[in-house]
Structure 1
Amino acid sequence: MTGKDVPGLQEAASVIPAGTKINVTFLGNEDLEMRVAASKAVKDLGFVPVPHISARRLKSQDQLEEFLGRLQEVGATEHVFSVGGDPAVPEGPYPDSLSVIRTGILQKYGVKEVSIAGYPEGHPDIKDDVLWRHLEDKSAALKEQGLDAVILTQFSFDTDPVMGWIKDVRSRGIDTEIRIGTPGPAGIKRLLGFARRFGIGANAMIVKKYGFSLTNLMGTAGPDRFVSDLSALLGKDEAAGPVKLHFYTFGGLRATSEWVAEYRAAQA
């Protein structure tokens, strides 16, 4: 959710299981008060806030500590997501999420678990060898500091690169829990727009496999086939280790939450 999504969260709260992790963004058009208020709302409604720390948007160590201090006041620092962020040029001393982790400041404010980013289909602006080196370095740094880790991935429409990437992660000796980014139900044009923005494969063959057609852009699509196929593939691969889902609520918090509830009921 973004800092503006508190009303949407309140509307969806009755459909979301208690204790669900809910990530709270750190966008350029949000301020400290919005981010803290959103994290507090998540906590107050019985869920687990996972506020983002956007390294390249931080102007100083003081800003980082002010943010963490305010989050700690509302009980929202145990879980955070340390990510590089969008600015091409860092606005302060932190060029990437690893530099934030290495400060040792997170533990000072009660952080126990840090999510880090994974990119099964690569990153449009970062070379693959750099991505892998950073993933290994962040995993090692968190282990050295005694912090729990979660790898939270960019969303995908295709299980093949996801499974191949999970295999590569495990081959590097990283046994951290992985949460696979999964688009919640949303308009097809909206999903494709996000895919283009983040460099996600979305050609005709892939989206047909996912369950929608490029000839019907006015419709909506959900991740039913993707989740079912991924579950089946993971069930055959004992080496995959712990894997869960992370939903991107492009179509809204309530729509995604209702889809999850309906899918679970159908599986049961």
Structure 2
Amino acid sequence: MQSSLTAPSSAADPADTVRERIVDLAREASYEVSARDDKGIDAAIARLAPGTRVSVTWLPADDDDNRVIASRKLRDAGFEPVPHIAARMVTSHDHLQHLLGRLCDGAGVTQLLVISGDVNQASGPFDDSAALIASPAFRQAALRHIWLGGYPEGHPKVDQTTLDATLDAKIETIRSLGMTPGVITQFCFDADPILRWMIAFRRRNADVPVRIGLAGPAGIRTLLRFAAICGVGTSAKALITRGSSIARLLSETAPDPIIRDLAETSAYRELQPMGFHLFPFGGLDRTAQWMGSVASGAFHLRGSASGFQVTE
């Protein structure tokens, strides 16, 4: 049963159907891959449309060479690389200046995703993403678009009021630098917290692009493990409650119920500009293949009004 937030609009006209919305959102989806995941990068090149945004994650085992090489490979293949910059893992102002120079000049990077970094102790002078953005190193002429993190289910260490105020301040800083801000949210397994967060965000920031984080198709045990690692909250319970028994733990799931709920919401037009960002926990090739089928319209809406079924 749908909540008031996900209830479909009765005013949707024939040219703006739920199917068309789903297809449009799927075609514009962005993805992410780790810097040393050669298999994932090759899958992106083989599966995704040229111009697709592909984030390059910042993992502790990766070094700057890995990040630059992965970004260059994606750029050379016709994609838009969006490397992560983790504030607490940058060791110095010189490190940041040098890395951004290499990414912009050597790998053709024009967009970044700036995060604080999932470590308790900063390795250098930057304790959070706000401090990173304020650095003179971000005055790179090539940089055009800076993405920030959003948290539909909140953050385990920061209250919601502080999260909202900090995000809004970072957006204004990015604008003051002559760049375009955007938000990529943490993945979530239920549309309701996403919609509540989006509605509140749109009241404060009417035109900032938002990409809703979704976990790509994967086994439920895998998704629950990543949910625990990433601090995803109560929506993870939806992975189990969608099924009828504990056997659900042995099955696989895809984000189609969330996608359909977001496409059907009566607030759909007010939430634009909105897109999807896929976290490929089951592998980028698998995620890109599934989303590619959705983008081609190879799916049918389930009569139960719960998600849809990909047909190829």
Q: TM-score, normalised by structure 1?
A: 0.93
Distance 1:111 1:214, change over 3 A: farther
The equivalent residue for 2:217 is 185
The answer as to 2:275 corresponding to 1:244 is yes
Residues 44-103 of structure 1: CA deviation (Å, up to 9, x unaligned)? 221100011100111101110111111123333200011100111111111111111112
The equivalent residue for 2:122 is 90
Distance 1:177 1:267, change over 3 A: farther
Give the letter for the 2:108 counterpart.
A
Report the Cα offset of residue 210 of structure 1.
5.9
The equivalent residue for 1:17 is 49
Aligned residues, how many?
267
- The 2-side partners of 1:40 and 1:212 are apart by 46
Report the Cα offset of residue 205 of structure 1.
5.7
5+ residue gaps, structure 1, are: none
The equivalent residue for 1:162 is 194
* SS state at 1:34 partner: helix
Give the letter for the 2:274 counterpart.
V
Residues 126-155 of structure 1: CA deviation (Å, up to 9, x unaligned)? 222221111011011111111101100000
Q: Which has the higher contact order (CA 8 A, sep 6+)?
A: 2
Identify which of 132, 136, 145 aligns with 2:177. Answer: 145
* SS state at 2:249 partner: coil
* SS state at 2:247 partner: coil
Distance 1:255 1:202, change over 3 A: farther
* SS state at 1:19 partner: coil
Distance 1:213 1:161, change over 3 A: farther
Report the Cα offset of residue 186 of structure 1.
1.0
The equivalent residue for 1:33 is 65
Q: TM-score, normalised by structure 2?
A: 0.80
The equivalent residue for 2:142 is 110
Report the Cα offset of residue 209 of structure 1.
6.5
Give the letter for the 1:259 counterpart.
W
The equivalent residue for 1:254 is 285
Identify which range, 195-204 or 82-91, moves more after superposition. 195-204
Identify which of 26, 30, 39 aligns with 1:7. Answer: 39
The equivalent residue for 2:258 is 226
Give the letter for the 2:182 counterpart.
V
Residues 207-233 of structure 1: CA deviation (Å, up to 9, x unaligned)? 256679653222221112211111111
The percent identity for this pair of structures is 33
* SS state at 1:157 partner: coil
* SS state at 2:250 partner: coil
For the 8 Å contact 2:240–2:249, the answer to whether it is kept is no
Report the Cα offset of residue 37 of structure 1.
1.0
Give the letter for the 1:266 counterpart.
G
Give the letter for the 2:221 counterpart.
K
* Pair member with larger Rg: 2
For the 8 Å contact 2:188–2:235, the answer to whether it is kept is no
Distance 1:148 1:189, change over 3 A: same
- The 1-side partners of 2:182 and 2:246 are apart by 34
Task: Indicate the RMSD between aligned Cα atoms, in angstroms.
Answer: 2.0
Give the letter for the 1:248 counterpart.
F
Identify which of 216, 221, 225 aligns with 2:248. Answer: 216
The equivalent residue for 1:69 is 101
The equivalent residue for 1:57 is 89
* SS state at 2:75 partner: helix
5+ residue gaps, structure 2, are: 1-32, 300-312
For the 8 Å contact 1:207–1:214, the answer to whether it is kept is no
